[in-house]
Amino acid sequence: MKKTLRINQTAIELDLEPDTPLLWVLRDEAGLTGTKFGCGIAQCGACTVHLDGKPVRSCSLPFEAVPENAEIRTIEGLGQSRLHPVQQAWLEEQVPQCGYCQSGQLMAAAALLQDNPQPTDSQIDQAMSNICRCGTYPRIRKAIRRAAELQTQEA
Amino acid sequence: MSLTRRAFLHSSLLVTGGLLLGCTSNSPRILSSPKEAANELGLWLRIGSDNRIGFVVPSVEMGQGVTTSMPTILAEELDVEPGQIDIVLASVHKAYRQQGMFTQGTGGSTSIVKWWEPLSKTGAAARSMLVQAAADRWQVPPNECQTQAGQVLHVDSERKLSYGELAEAASKLQVPEDPPRKDPSKYRLVGQPLKRLDGLAKVTGQAQFGIDVKVPGMLYATVRQSPVFEGEILRYDESSALAVKGVVKVVEILNGVAVVAEKFWQAKKGADALRIEFSGGKSQGLDDQQLEQQLTEALDNLGKTEISGEQTLDVEYFLPYLAHATMEPMNCTADVRADRCEVWVPTQFPEVVRDKAAEITGLEPEQVTVHTTYLGGGFGRRGWDFAIQAVQASKAVGRPVKLIWTREEDTQHDFYRPAYKSRLQVQLGEDGFPSSWNHQLAGPSAISEFAWQLVDTRAVGSVLKWIDWDVTSTEGTQLPYTIPEHEMDYEVVEPGIRVGFWRSVGNSHNAFTVESVLDEAANLAGRDPLEYRLALLNDQPRHRTVLERAAKEAGWGAELPEGHARGIALHESFKSIVAQVVEVSVDAGTVRVHKVHCAIDCGRYVNPNIIRQQLEGAVVFGLSAALYEQISLKDGAVANSNFHDYRVARLSESPEVFVSIIENDEAPGGVGEPGVPPIAPALCNAIYAATGKRIRRLPVATQLI
Residue ranges per structural domain of chain B: 8-203, 210-282+330-404, 290-322+415-702
Q: Which residues contact B292 (CB under 8 A, 6 or more apart)?
A: B318, B419, B421
Q: Do domains B210-282+330-404 and B290-322+415-702 have the same CATH topology?
A: yes
**pLDDT score for B171:** 83
- DSSP E strand stretches across chain A: 2-7, 10-15, 48-51, 54-57, 71-73
CATH number at A150 reads 1.10.150.120
Contact B652 A75 (CB under 8 A): no
Check whether residue A73 and residue A22 sit in a common domain: yes
Contact A94 B652 (CB under 8 A): no
| Local confidence band at B8 (pLDDT 50, 70, 90 cut-offs) | very low
Check whether residue A41 and residue A17 sit in a common domain: yes
Mean pLDDT of A53-63: 98
Check whether residue A54 and residue A19 sit in a common domain: yes
Domain boundary among A13, A42, A77: A77
Shortest CA gap B632–chain A (Å) = 19
**ipTM entry:** 0.98
**Higher pLDDT pick, B239 / B589:** B239
User: Does B484 score more than 50 pLDDT?
Assistant: yes
Mean pLDDT of B527-543: 98
Chain B residue nearest residue A77, CA to CA: B204
Check whether residue A68 and residue A96 sit in a common domain: no
**pLDDT score for B21:** 66
Contact A135 B64 (CB under 8 A): no
| Local confidence band at B296 (pLDDT 50, 70, 90 cut-offs) | very high
β-pairing verdict for B420-428 and B401-404: unpaired
Check whether residue A106 and residue A68 sit in a common domain: no
Q: Which residues contact A16 (CB under 8 A, 6 or more apart)?
A: A1, A3, A25, A29, A63
Mean pLDDT of B411-438: 97
**pLDDT score for B36:** 40
User: What is the spatial distance between Cα A31 and Cα B524, in angstroms, rounded to a whole number?
Assistant: 62
A81 touches chain B (CB under 8 A): no
β-pairing verdict for B256-261 and B219-225: antiparallel
Query: Which among A21, A38, A131 has the least Cβ separation from residue B650?
Result: A131
**pLDDT score for B46:** 83
Which structural domain, as residue segments, surrounds residue A104?
A: 85-154
Check whether residue A69 and residue A43 sit in a common domain: yes
Mean pLDDT of B595-606: 98
As a whole number of angstroms, the longest Cα–Cα distance in chain A is 45
Measured between beta carbons, the chain B residues lying within 8 angstroms of A140 are 651
Domain boundary among A77, A110, A128: A77
CA distances from A103 to A33, A63, B12 (A): 10, 21, 41
User: Does B459 score more than 60 pLDDT?
Assistant: no
pLDDT tens per residue, range B327-348: 999 999 999 999 999 999 999 9
| Local confidence band at B124 (pLDDT 50, 70, 90 cut-offs) | very high
Q: Name the nearest CA neighbour of B485 among B530, B537, B430, B436.
A: B436
- DSSP letter at B536 equals T
Mean pLDDT of B8-12: 51
CATH of B210-282+330-404, one of 3.40.190.170, 3.40.50.300, 3.30.365.10, 2.40.50.140: 3.30.365.10
**pLDDT score for B467:** 55
A131 touches chain B (CB under 8 A): yes
Cβ–Cβ < 8 Å for B526, B694: no
Domain boundary among A24, A54, A77: A77
**pLDDT score for B149:** 93
| Local confidence band at B419 (pLDDT 50, 70, 90 cut-offs) | very high
Is B8-203 in CATH node 3.30.365.10?
yes
Contact B642 A20 (CB under 8 A): no
Q: Which of B106, B204, B405 to mutate to test the interface with A (most CBs of A within 10 A)?
A: B204
Q: Name the nearest CA neighbour of B166 among B17, B54, B55.
A: B17
| Local confidence band at B94 (pLDDT 50, 70, 90 cut-offs) | confident
Check whether residue A72 and residue A100 sit in a common domain: no
**Which stretch of DSSP H or E encloses residue B426?**
strand B420-428
Measured between beta carbons, the chain B residues lying within 8 angstroms of A40 are 406-408, 642
**pLDDT score for B662:** 98
The answer to which of A90-94, B96-100, B485-489, B664-668 has the lowest mean pLDDT is B96-100
A46 touches chain B (CB under 8 A): yes
Query: Which among A17, A38, A141 has the least Cβ separation from residue B245?
Result: A17
Mean pLDDT of B512-525: 98
**Positive or negative CA dihedral for A111, A114, A118, A120?**
negative
Averaged pLDDT of chain B: 91
Contact B375 A28 (CB under 8 A): no
Check whether residue A65 and residue A22 sit in a common domain: yes
What angle do the packed helices B608-627 and B506-524 form, to 10 degrees?
70
The Cβ of residue B367 has, within 10 Å, a number of other Cβ atoms equal to 17
Contact B64 A97 (CB under 8 A): yes
Q: Say what the pTM is.
A: 0.95
Contact B329 A38 (CB under 8 A): yes
**pLDDT score for B462:** 55
- CATH fold for domain B290-322+415-702: Aldehyde Oxidoreductase; domain 4 (3.30.365)
State percent of chain B over pLDDT 90: 80
Domain count across chain A: 2
Check whether residue A44 and residue A69 sit in a common domain: yes
User: Does B12 score more than 60 pLDDT?
Assistant: no
pLDDT tens per residue, range B623-661: 999 999 999 999 999 999 999 999 999 999 999 999 999
**Higher pLDDT pick, B178 / B564:** B564
| Local confidence band at B453 (pLDDT 50, 70, 90 cut-offs) | confident
**pLDDT score for B517:** 98
Cα B153 to chain centroid distance, Å, stands at: 41
Contact A99 B202 (CB under 8 A): yes
CATH number at A20 reads 3.10.20.30
Mean pLDDT of B204-226: 97
Measured between beta carbons, the chain A residues lying within 8 angstroms of B374 are 98-100
pLDDT tens per residue, range B673-691: 999 999 999 999 999 999 9
